[in-house]
Each structure stands twice: as C-alpha cells, then as structure tokens.
Amino acid sequence: MIVETTDPITGNEVTDLENAPYILDGELKIYFESEASKAEFQDIPVEHPGEDFEHNLDNPQSMGPGDGQHKDVHKE
C-alpha cells in the first residue's frame, strides 16, 4: 500500500497518523490534517479525459503549403 502523509490541501506533513482522518483509494491511503481538509479534497470534481470535452479542437482549415490543398510555389 502507498501511504501519503502530506495533506494534499494544505501541503503540510501529517504527523499524528493514529488520529488523523484519511481516505483509502485502492492501494493509496491519503492522510489529512483535519476533517475540513478531507472534505475539501473530496469535493474536488473528478476529471474524465475524453468524456469532458465541450469543444472540438480540430482545425479543418487548410494550413498552407504542404497540406495537400495548396500549390507548392517552390516546386516549379
């Protein structure tokens, strides 16, 4: 198991592990300085790459010489 004793919200080292709040995420145990810090961490929304895209970043415009849509003026 991986144990993280640095509170991810405050950045402070947690030393009283017997009384500190923590969460388990698979093989990861994360300790927090306080319940408030733990709650703030749990309120961070999870990102889902590939599912959260609202914009299409594709650029369908031709990009100039070399894109196959323009005459290459350097090859005459």
- Report how far residue 57's alpha carbon sits from residue 61's, in angstroms, rounded to the nearest whole number: 12
Q: In what order do the strands lie in the sheet with 22-25?
A: 2-4, 28-31, 22-25
Interval 27-62: pLDDT, tens: 999 999 999 999 999 999 887 776 666 666 666 666
| Separation of CA 64 from chain center | 35
Closest CA to 15 of 27, 1, 32: 32
pTM for this predicted structure: 0.62
- Report how far residue 26's alpha carbon sits from residue 49's, in angstroms, rounded to the nearest whole number: 20
| pLDDT tier for residue 21 given thresholds of 50, 70 and 90 | very high
- Report how far residue 41's alpha carbon sits from residue 31's, in angstroms, rounded to the nearest whole number: 11
What pLDDT is recorded for position 75? 60
